[in-house]
A and B are shown apart, each in its own frame.
Chain A
Amino acid sequence: MDSGILIKNGNILRFSKGKEQKADILIVDGIIRRIDRGIEGGSHRIIDAQDCIVAPGLVDMHTHLREPGMEHKEDIGTGSRAAVAGGFTAVFCMPNTAPCIDNRSVAEYVFDRGKEEGLCMVLPHGALTLGQKGEALASIGDMNACRAHVHGFSDDGNPVSDSEVMRRAMEYARTIGVLVISHAEEKALSEGGQINEGYYSTLLGLQGIPAEAEEIQVFRDIALAEKTGASLHVAHVSTAGSVRLLREAKKRGVPVTCEVTPHHLSLNDSMMVQYDTNLKMNPPLRSEKDVQAVLEGLADGTIDVIATDHAPHAAHEKEVEFDLAPFGVIGLETCLPVVLSSVVAEGVLKMGDAIRRLSAAPAEIMNMSRWGYVAGVEEGIAANLVIFNPDIEWTVDPGLLSSRSKNTPYRGARLKGKVLFTIYRGNVVLEDGGGTPAGNDGGLDMDRVAGPVHGEEKQKA
């Protein structure tokens, strides 16, 4: 037997067990071989997980990795490093690249680049329509059949405004058996908007993006999913009205799932008073009433998934007039600590439920069983794990994040909970919390973030 990795003394989060269990985990050849108390060290590399939680690697079904075409913001390498620094072992990236992921060639390019980096699974979502123009359907079937096996289709930030096109896209998606992801935004209402419409848009003299711009399209897409029988996933739900519509739709049995971002769970529009472009994203930070509503939606199961909408932009693109700055914030590296601080510590979800919304739930929606990917900690499955200490407090220093872009809304925030190790297919891809502030919680060093690159072929060899 090859020498493997032995994770000692961790509190293991097994969905099958209901609560955390103190035990050791032995990983050999990339597979979890044994979970038991008091496993002997032998020649194995030992990772001490005392005081830590060992959980399934996280899955982010909504990121923007900017490759191909916008590598000055992020590429699949830096995006993968940011992912594993945040405890993710699988990320899905949106098709708004240049060229756009609307055909098998680009889909396979992204997939291959992810494998080449080898730090985590990188799987593309495909565009629903050609060039995300909302007119002609993209090659949904070809992208699904190619080696990237695209399962999620979305025009993301350019949502399909023509309801007839959306209807036919859903019917076609149903036939292929794939998921339609809706960035719900009625552009006629949101055009020119900068922040949430409300007291703060009035106070700051910034054009508002009304909640109804989101809710009208959430309603439309629920109606079309109900009619066509297509599987619908609503991205980044941000308003009380959307949560209400989705709760009712699920009660009626409409095939719809949805996600919320960590920032919509933890920040509100009162924070816009400094005109900080690093807090500018779409959908925008909403009112505190909306924040409470999405937290409730998460608590009662209306919201299935937490996803980051990691959207890197270069500093020079954000250091401009507020209304000219692009929408989007990064989120991979702050996601778990924000969820621990704002969701788990606040009693909205128990630890196990929160981790499920960050791993098993998106894995199931994205049909990851087709990849043999199981988001869990069980004997006999591939070792995709995150080890984090829920009690370490740290301050977000954008300069120390792995993402190429530093546009985090949590600059200077004190967060509780720190990812220390990420293991992907049995390889340690994040070592000892690499990339965290030196001296803050353990004297760690940026150069140690990435760890070795393990491609699939290399692994077989």
Chain B
Amino acid sequence: MKEPDNGHRHLLSVTQLDRGRIYDLLDSARSFSEVLSRPVKKVPALRGKTVANLFMEPSTRTRMSFELAAKRLSADVVNFSSGGSSISKGETLKDTGKTIVAMGVDAVVIRHKSAGVPLALTGWADCSVINAGDGMHEHPTQALLDLYTMREHFGKLEGLKVAIAGDVDHSRVARSNVHALKRVGADVLLVGPWSLMPVEMEELGVGITGSMDEALNWCDVMYLLRVQLERVRGSRFPSLQEYARRYGLTTSRWSGLQKKPLVMHPGPINRGVEIASEIADEVEVIIANQVSAGVAVRMAVLYDLLGGDNG
């Protein structure tokens, strides 16, 4: 993707990052993670900067994670949450952008249910824009924190075998992760029925299988996606029961594994659907680590875009 040019730096899509920049961000996140383990978890890196969290779609963890990240960097934070679109209030997206300019913020962190909104905003808002999830498009900071977690766990990313299972079609997390993992040289296998796969996904250099057992025997990381029932239009699979049996991480599958992969999940979990409740409890630690890594990774991103000479 071509970076839009409004004189500011943005994080809109993982496709704008190369391998080197991904590793720089992960290294930087590791330093910030050290800051987060101190008694006083705060550095003055972004003092005087203002970050606006514009969440036009419900979100708890991502919004809190960004808010904490900005505050740990001593930036001022304003939060704006709203359901629906700008149009439902009779305002165009362009006017929303112009309103933000008038507030004089340095960065907007935006979550929106429509794909492409963060990119569109760069044309109308005179500040940095960070994509915190746009429709089915991307969620770049989620992918960065997932890579961070995998790297901390395995010590490397290159050659890592990562299976991503479930509703890939509706998942911005899957798209961002595929881009990020391919860029750092990991192998990716998508798991699920064809009715949940986006068309021509193979073009991104990933394998696709309908067999959860095959994937479990192959992978180092089993990344489970949440079935996004609220986004599914029409019938994509027969029932949650059949889904759980065929594509879920069931106790019988788990107990039969010789070598257990690292299980990851972006949350929130549908217990008993993509993962059996017992296994969810067992791997809870990893999921919690993912959440705490999120703050460090978002600090790295904010610092990269707003800190130093870039401000």
Contacts and interface: CB of A to CB of B under 8 A. Distances in A.
Interface of A: 191-192, 197-199, 201-208, 210, 273-275, 316, 319-324
Nearest to B86: A320
B298 interface: no
Contacts of A323: 114-115, 135
Interface stretch (B32-40, B199-207, B300-308): B199-207
Interface stretch (B87-95, B101-109, B152-160, B181-189): B87-95
Contact of A275 (B2, B85, B120, B204): B120
Q: Which of B112, B199, B201 has the most CB of A within 10 A?
A: B199
Nearest to B1: A273
Contact of B198 (A202, A275, A316): A202
Contact of A198 (B85, B175, B200): B200
B274 interface: no
A202 B86 contact: no
B167 interface: no
B240 interface: no
B116 interface: yes
Contacts of B115: 204-206, 275, 322-323
Contact of B86 (A199, A205, A273, A321): A321
Interface string B101-136: 000000000001011110110000000000000111
A197 B199 CA distance: 7
Given A320-B87, A323-B135, A204 B116 contact: yes
Contact of B199 (A208, A316, A319): A208
Contact of B85 (A197, A208, A319, A321): A321
B10 interface: no
B20 to A, nearest CB: 22
B87 A321 contact: yes
Contacts of A206: 115-116, 135-137
A34 B130 CA distance: 67
21 contacts: A199-B203, A201-B199, A202-B175, A202-B199, A202-B200, A202-B204, A203-B175, A205-B134, A205-B135, A205-B137, A205-B138, A206-B135, A208-B199, A273-B1, A319-B94, A320-B87, A321-B87, A321-B93, A321-B114, A322-B115, A324-B114
Contact of A199 (B135, B175, B200): B200
Contacts of B87: 320-321, 324
Contacts of A197: 199
Nearest to A323: B114
A322 B199 contact: no
Given A198-B200, A202-B199, A205-B137, 15 more contacts: A197-B199, A201-B199, A202-B204, A203-B15, A203-B204, A204-B137, A205-B172, A273-B2, A274-B2, A275-B116, A320-B87, A321-B85, A321-B120, A323-B115, A324-B85
B245 to A, nearest CB: 27
A41 B223 CA distance: 82
Given A205-B135, A205-B175, A320 B93 contact: yes
Nearest to B112: A321
Most buried by B among A191, A204, A208: A204
Contacts of B201: 202
Interface string B238-267: 000000000000000000000000000000
Interface in B172-231: 172, 175, 198-201, 203-204
Contacts of B85: 320-321, 324
A322 B15 CA distance: 20
A203 B178 CA distance: 11
A207 B204 CA distance: 18
A78 B281 CA distance: 66
A274 B12 CA distance: 12
Contacts of B200: 198-199, 202
Contacts of B204: 202-203
B111 to A, nearest CB: 13
A323 B199 CA distance: 19
Q: Across chains A and B, which 8 residue pairs bring their CB atoms closest together, nearest first? A: A205-B137, A275-B116, A205-B136, A321-B114, A202-B198, A319-B94, A205-B115, A199-B200
Nearest to B200: A199
Interface string B66-94: 00000000000000000001110000111
Contacts of B138: 205
A431 B132 CA distance: 52
Nearest to B93: A320
A140 to B, nearest CB: 35
Contacts of A322: 114-117, 120
A240 B87 CA distance: 36
Contacts of B117: 321-322
A316 to B, nearest CB: 5
Contacts of B137: 204-206
Interface in B1-59: 1-2, 15
A198 B93 CA distance: 27
A253 B85 CA distance: 50
B198 to A, nearest CB: 4
A324 B56 CA distance: 15
A204 B137 CA distance: 5
Given A197-B199, A202-B198, A320 B92 contact: yes
A197 B119 CA distance: 21
A51 to B, nearest CB: 38
A322 B199 CA distance: 20
Contacts of A324: 85, 87, 114
A321 B116 contact: yes
A199 B135 CA distance: 17
A319 B175 contact: no
Contact of A201 (B1, B112, B120, B198): B198
Nearest to B120: A275
Contacts of B233: 191-192
A202 B204 CA distance: 10
